[in-house]
Amino acid sequence: MAQTFRLKKGEILFENDKIIISDKVNRQNGMTLLTSGLWIFYGTVSVLRYMKTGDEFLLWTGSFIGIGHLIIFVFTLLRSAKSEISLNDVKSIKVKQRFNNSFLDIKLKNNRLRRVIQVEDIEELEEYIKTYYGGLTTK
């Protein structure tokens, strides 16, 4: 039985043996990598300016900005952007909500995470997952 859930910009289709997600995750990941890379560069330049001027503000802000965005950069690389996921590859499926933002986390068996954001009817999706994929939500 195929079931479709709408996103703000796309949709999720649950078929018998696979999940098909159509959203703009590749574009989002690219923008995140680009902006984090620029902030890492800025942080590095600030630390190098500290070495020249001795101003500790440049050292601490540059270090904080650079390391923070390096962490974001690495976590973005560890996420999956697959648009078609076989149920054999799924380790767990969870519906989560943080700060009024609801999203679907699909953890794959290779320990990558596929996050689907901006789900419109999160309650209906959560009920569907509990009903049909209850065994995958326990981990």
Same domain, 121 and 90: yes
Residue 40: the pLDDT is 97
Q: How many structural domains does the chain have?
A: 2
Here the CATH number for the domain that contains residue 98 is: 2.30.29.30
Residues 67 and 88 reside in one and the same domain: no
Q: Which residues of the chain have pLDDT under 70?
A: 1, 135-139
DSSP code, position 41: H
- pLDDT of 88: 84
At 38-54, the pLDDT tens digits run 999 999 999 999 999 98
Residue-number span of the structural domain to which 57 is assigned: 30-77
Q: What pLDDT does residue 139 have? A: 42
Q: Based on the domain organization, do 90 and 59 belong to the same domain?
A: no
Residue that the structure tokens 């999706």 belong to: 125
Q: Is there a single domain that holds both residue 124 and residue 99? A: yes
Contacts of 28 (CB under 8 A, 6+ apart): none
Can you give the C-alpha Rg of the chain in angstroms? 19
User: Do 34 and 102 fall within a single domain?
Assistant: no
User: What is the helix (H) or strand (E) element at residue 8, kind and residue range?
Assistant: none
- pLDDT value of position 121: 79
131 and 116 fall within a common domain: yes
Average pLDDT of the chain, as a whole number: 86
